[in-house]
A = this chain, B = another copy of it.
Amino acid sequence: MATAPKAEPVDKRRLILDAAVWVFARRGFHHCRVSDVADEAGVAYGLVYHYFDSKEEILNTLFLERWQVMLDAIDEIDARDLPARDKLYAVAAFIIDSYRHNPDLMKVIIVEVTRAANSFGRLHLDRIREAYTGISDIVEAARAEGSFKSDIPSEFAAMCFYGAIEQLLTSWIFEVLPRTEEEFERAKELVVEAICGGLESAGTSQPATSA
C-alpha cells in the first residue's frame, strides 16, 4: 500500500528567518514591520514571537549565523599553505561569492549591521573585529616572512582590505556597479591587485610629501 502523502515538514523558524532576509533587504530593518515578515513567511503574527524574543533578535540571528561562516572561512584560508596574496584573494573570493549566492542576506548584514555604527554595528563590534583580526593575521604572517611591507601595520592593512571589499559590495548593493558574473570574478582580481600590488606602476613608488 502506498504511503499516505505526507506534508513535508516545514521549519517555521527557518521560514521566518528567510522571510526576514527578503523583507529587511527590500525595505530596510527600520522601515518594515514585524507583520511584514510574518506575512512574507506565511505564518501568523504571533508565531514570530514564539521563535524570537524581538524583531532585533531576528536580525542578530541572521548576522551571527552568517558572520560565523565567514570567520570560519577566513580561519580555514589562513591555515592553508599559500602566499599571502593568494590567501587574500581567497578571502575576497569568499566574501564576493557570498554576495553572489545570497545578495539579500549580505545586503542585510552589511547595511543593517556592519555599516550601522549606531545600532547593531556597535552591538556586534567585537564580532566584526574578529574578521579584521583574521585578515590581519594573514598580513602579519606575510610581514614576518618579508613578502609584505613592514611599515604598514597589519591591522591597518586589514582595514584597507576589508574597507575596499565592503565598498565594493556596497556599490553592488547601491547598484552603482553592474552585477554580472564577469564583474564578480574581475573584482576579486582587481581588489587584490589594487590593495596588494598598489595603484602605482612598478618603479614609481615614492613617499608622499606631507602637507
Contacts and interface: CB of A to CB of B under 8 A. Distances in A.
Nearest to A30: B30
Given A167-B167, A196-B200, 11 more contacts: A85-B208, A88-B208, A111-B116, A111-B118, A115-B116, A129-B176, A152-B193, A160-B163, A160-B164, A195-B199, A196-B205
A3 interface: no
Contacts of A15: none
B195 A198 contact: yes
10 tightest Cβ-Cβ pairs between the two chains A and B: A198-B198, A163-B167, A28-B118, A89-B208, A160-B164, A115-B115, A163-B163, A163-B164, A111-B117, A197-B198
A181 to B, nearest CB: 14
Interface in A140-185: 142, 146-149, 151-153, 156-157, 159-168, 170-171, 173-174, 176, 185
Interface string A107-140: 1001110011111011001000100100000010
A90 interface: yes
A118 B31 contact: yes
Q: How large is the interface on A (under 10, 10 to 19, 20 to 34, 35 or more residues)?
A: 35 or more
A192 interface: yes
A102 to B, nearest CB: 16
Nearest to A163: B167
6 contacts: A31-B119, A115-B116, A152-B193, A189-B210, A196-B198, A197-B198
Interface of A: 27-31, 83, 85-86, 88-90, 93, 107, 110-112, 115-119, 121-122, 125, 129, 132, 139, 142, 146-149, 151-153, 156-157, 159-168, 170-171, 173-174, 176, 185, 187-202, 204-211
A163 B192 CA distance: 14
Nearest to A202: B205
